[in-house]
Structure 1
Amino acid sequence: MRFKLEPEQITTLAARAPTETAYYACPVVDSDNQLSDALNNCYFVDAQAIRAGSSQLYIPRDFPHSPVQGKVKDPADKSGWTGDPTNYYRIPEPAVKEWRDIRHDIESRNVGMLIRDGGSTTQQYHNFVNRLRDLWSLHDDTRSASVQTDGGEPNRNHQEVIDRLVSFATDQFRYRYAESSIEMPNIERHEQYLRSTLEEYMNVRRPDVHGIRRGQEVIAQSGEAAPNTSYLGYNG
């Protein structure tokens, strides 16, 4: 099964979410009569295991006997290809979970982010909020034109913000691959794509509608929550 990815979303998730927090949901469904059991036939891929700039994920029918793969068209690769060469890479098996794994990990608090501990917000949560503020500051359309240099490059403050976000994302990426036997994809190109995408964010005045060309979809789930039950929610 092939799933299309939005490269800018990869960068945003990589810059804000630690490992075991944000996942791409890939339901293996190819007909209407399979929809009722879609959750049980869904694979969740840790966003931090996906190389920046990737355009697609491939979920094999016989996973885990065959690996999940990502695909990226890399214009920086000048190794004799005509046009933009297509590179494939393997996603570490521990970064791919089924719904039963996700549900168990949520209920046992092995995934996600601890927000409060002993009544106080955690440092992990404060760091997350600071990354959100950094991302938003790159979009800040209240800033004056003077914040850009004559060459249109990021000013020092924005460059420091980008450096922090890229450093966090590359550390998470390294961690995801270091714990597996799979060869790590080119970390320099991963970092380069993260940086260039974040720099492009400074030209976006409304991040809430950025990249949405034809419409906006919101996925929501409602209902009564049973006691002591954890739910995974997603909206996008």
Structure 2
Amino acid sequence: MEPQKRETFEYGSAHAYADAWRKWTADTHAWYAFHHMMAAQVAAGAPSIAAGSAAPTAAQTAAQATNTVTVTAGGVRVVTATYTIPSFARRILAELIDCVFTFAIKIIFVYLLIEFDILDLSRYERLINDHADLQTLIDITHELFPLEVVGKILCSLLEAYLISYGFGGLPAGQTPGKNLMGLTVISCHQVFPVVGNPRQVHVSGLATVPFRHSLQRSLFKNVLVNSLIPLSSIVYVFNYNRALYDVTATTIVVRRQ
């Protein structure tokens, strides 16, 4: 008995093979998401596909698998939707705007410390007199370092609160800079590209970013990454312009819908 021969297909080029692989990956993820959604509906008592109906096509499966909200057995809401990835320049501009607000918060923080006599500026007058030298600058920098760390932690707590809960006119997931630039931070447990549109992705994640994740993200960014300017730009090396702190906190920055 002769062994069965495997069917082969010639793609013609590496680019054509990559396109076919991306389409297969997207269809596979859509199939898994669709069956996950149907399993959640059955567990919740919702009507499923009628018996004897035709099986959904790949396009129908992808359409049903995106822009949906499913509830797992543990009551966790999982959102699957299509988003547009912002450009690197838009993200950097949003961060620069946030830096202005962060600087204003630090100024207010220092002003309150002075008003309550916690911080004495007269101690630092020696920095501007004629006897100031490099050692004086080093000493004053060491004295101000704890104050800078406290300021960064305060800004990180505020940013994490905005991302998880929002405040006033700012919806959850947006800081002032991201709001002005039309961006938002969302939970991202799984992301895969939309075939034929490299700027769009399907994202599956929690309905909102948990405070623990947003605090991890903001502390990583404000305390560590922003202290390494301009070297901090190297953290934006992951797919879909995700920064290192986005990957560690399972988040992604997308255009606001």
Task: State the TM-score, normalized to the length of structure 2.
Answer: 0.28
Q: Bigger radius of gyration, 1 or 2?
A: 2
Query: Is the helix fraction higher in 1 or 2?
Result: 2
Task: State the TM-score, normalized to the length of structure 1.
Answer: 0.30
